[in-house]
C-alpha cells in the first residue's frame, strides 16, 4: 500500500515532479502572454497602492439616462464627451465605457466606433432618451481630465479591485516571500524539477492590473505535499495554488480558483492540477455582501487549511480497485459515457505511463485527464475533465 504523508520542511533546491498526471490549465498563461509591462507588478503592495489610488479618485453615482447629454464637435470627428447631471465639465468615455454605453442603449459598439463623433452622438442621445430602464450608474474618475470609467445598470454591485487585493494580502503579505504564499517558481523541463526560488521580474510575475481589471496568481511551492509514490518509487509531490480576478468596471465577474498542482512552467501554464475548485460572484445588487461573507472567507479558509483531506482523497482513489480484467476496464468506462475509441485510448495511456493497465479509480482519472489534454476542442476537454473530477469525488 502507498504511504501518503505531508512534507512540512521547506524545499529550496526544487523538487522533481511528474507533470504527465492531472490537468493542464492555461488560464494564468493566457494572462501572462497578454499583459504589457505597465500591467505587471512585482509585489502585492505596489499593486494594491495603484488600484487603491484610482478608487480614491473615482466617484460613482446613479443618474437619469435621459438627463445625460452627449456632445460632439464637428471640428473633431473623433472626440465625443458627455455632460452628466451634477457635473459641469464634460466627461470623456474610455474605450470600455463607450462600449458599455452602446450596449445599454442596444447600439452595436463596433459600428458606432466607425461613425464620426457627431453622428455617433446623435444615435447615443436618442438611445439615452428612450432608455427603458431610465437610470444608469456611472463611475467617473478625475486624473487630470474627467474620465468615464464605467456605465452600468442602476443595480450593479461594485466590488472594488483593491478590496480583492487587500483580501489576498491578508494571507499573502507582499506576495513575494514574507509569507508562504508567493509568485511561483519555474519548472526546469530538462530535469523535470520545479524550482520555487526565482527572482520576481516583469517576465516572471503573476500579479496584474489594467485600467479595467486585476488578476493574481500565488502558490505555496516551498512546502510540497507528498501524496503517494510514482511508478519509479519517487514521491508524487503537489503544492497549493490559487488565482483570483475582478473588474470594478464590469468587464468580468469576481472569482477565485483554488487547486493543487505539480509545477508551473516559464509560460505560466499550470501542470498536474488536481482538486480544482472555483467560485465566482456576479456584480449584482448584493455582490459586496457575498464577497465579504463567501469569497474572502473561502480564500482564507483554503490558505490556512490542512491538505490532509486532499491527501486522503488521493489515497482513497489509489486504494479503490474497480477493475482487474480487460472486460472490467471496458465496462467501467463505457458505463460512464466513454466511447469505445476513448475507452481504448484511456487504457493505453495508463499502460504507457504507468507500465500497467488501470485498476484503481486514481488510475482511470489519470488516464481520462491525459486524454483530455490531447483535445483541442475546449468543450470536449472540459467534458472529459468533468468526468474525471466526478470519479475522484466519488472515491473520496
Torsion, Cα 370 375 381 387, to 10 degrees, reads -40
Question: Across residues 117-136, what is the average pLDDT?
Answer: 83
Question: Across residues 88-103, what is the average pLDDT?
Answer: 88
Q: How far is CA 237 from the centre of its chain?
A: 23
CB atoms within 10 A of CB 390: 12
**Predicted pLDDT at 8:** 44
Q: How confident is the model at residue 6 (pLDDT cuts 50, 70, 90)?
A: very low
Q: How confident is the model at residue 2 (pLDDT cuts 50, 70, 90)?
A: very low
Q: Are 353 and 370 in contact (CB under 8 A)?
A: yes
**Predicted pLDDT at 282:** 83
Q: For residue 7, give the C-alpha cell.
A: 512534507
Amino acid at each position: 500500500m502507498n504511504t501518503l504523508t505531508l512534507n512540512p520542511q521547506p524545499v529550496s533546491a526544487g523538487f522533481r515532479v511528474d507533470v504527465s498526471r492531472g490537468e493542464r490549465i492555461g488560464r494564468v498563461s493566457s494572462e501572462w502572454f497578454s499583459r504589457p509591462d505597465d500591467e505587471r507588478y512585482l509585489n502585492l503592495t505596489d499593486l494594491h497602492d495603484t488600484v487603491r489610488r484610482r478608487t480614491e479618485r473615482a466617484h460613482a453615482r446613479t443618474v437619469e439616462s435621459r438627463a445625460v447629454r452627449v456632445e460632439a464637435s464637428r471640428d473633431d470627428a473623433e472626440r465625443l464627451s458627455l455632460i452628466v447631471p451634477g457635473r459641469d465639465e464634460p466627461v470623456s468615455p474610455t474605450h470600455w465605457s463607450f462600449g458599455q454605453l452602446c450596449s445599454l442603449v442596444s447600439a452595436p459598439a463596433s459600428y458606432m466606433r466607425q461613425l464620426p463623433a457627431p453622428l455617433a452622438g446623435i444615435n447615443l442621445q436618442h438611445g439615452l432618451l428612450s432608455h427603458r430602464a431610465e437610470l444608469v450608474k456611472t463611475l467617473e474618475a478625475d486624473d487630470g481630465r474627467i474620465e468615464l470609467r464605467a456605465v452600468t445598470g442602476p443595480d450593479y454591485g461594485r466590488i472594488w479591485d483593491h478590496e480583492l487585493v487587500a483580501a489576498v494580502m491578508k494571507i499573502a503579505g507582499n506576495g513575494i516571500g514574507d509569507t508562504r504564499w508567493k509568485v511561483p517558481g519555474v519548472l526546469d523541463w530538462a530535469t523535470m524539477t520545479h524550482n520555487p526560488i526565482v527572482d520576481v521580474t516583469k517576465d516572471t510575475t503573476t500579479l496584474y492590473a489594467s485600467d479595467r481589471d486585476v488578476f493574481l496568481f500565488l502558490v505555496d511551492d516551498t512546502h510540497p505535499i507528498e501524496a503517494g509514490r510514482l511508478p519509479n518509487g519517487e514521491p508524487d509531490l503537489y503544492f497549493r495554488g490559487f488565482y483570483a480576478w475582478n473588474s470594478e468596471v464590469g468587464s468580468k465577474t469576481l472569482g477565485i480558483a483554488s487547486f493543487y498542482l505539480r509545477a508551473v512552467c516559464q509560460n505560466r501554464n499550470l501542470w498536474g492540477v488536481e482538486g480544482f475548485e472555483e467560485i465566482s460572484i456576479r456584480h449584482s445588487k448584493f455582490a459586496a455582501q457575498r464577497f465579504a461573507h463567501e469569497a474572502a472567507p473561502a480564500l482564507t479558509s483554503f490558505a490556512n487549511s490542512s491538505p490532509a483531506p486532499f491527501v486522503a482523497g488521493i489515497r482513497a482513489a489509489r486504494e479503490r480497485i474497480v477493475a482487474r480484467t480487460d472486460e472490467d476496464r471496458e465496462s467501467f468506462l463505457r458505463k460512464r459515457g466513454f466511447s469505445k475509441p476513448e475507452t481504448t485510448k484511456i487504457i493505453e495511456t495508463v499502460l504507457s505511463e504507468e507500465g500497467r493497465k488501470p485498476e484503481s479509480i486514481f488510475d482511470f482519472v489519470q488516464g481520462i485527464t491525459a486524454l483530455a489534454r490531447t483535445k483541442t476542442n475546449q468543450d470536449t476537454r472540459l467534458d472529459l475533465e468533468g468526468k474525471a473530477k466526478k470519479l475522484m469525488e466519488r472515491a473520496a
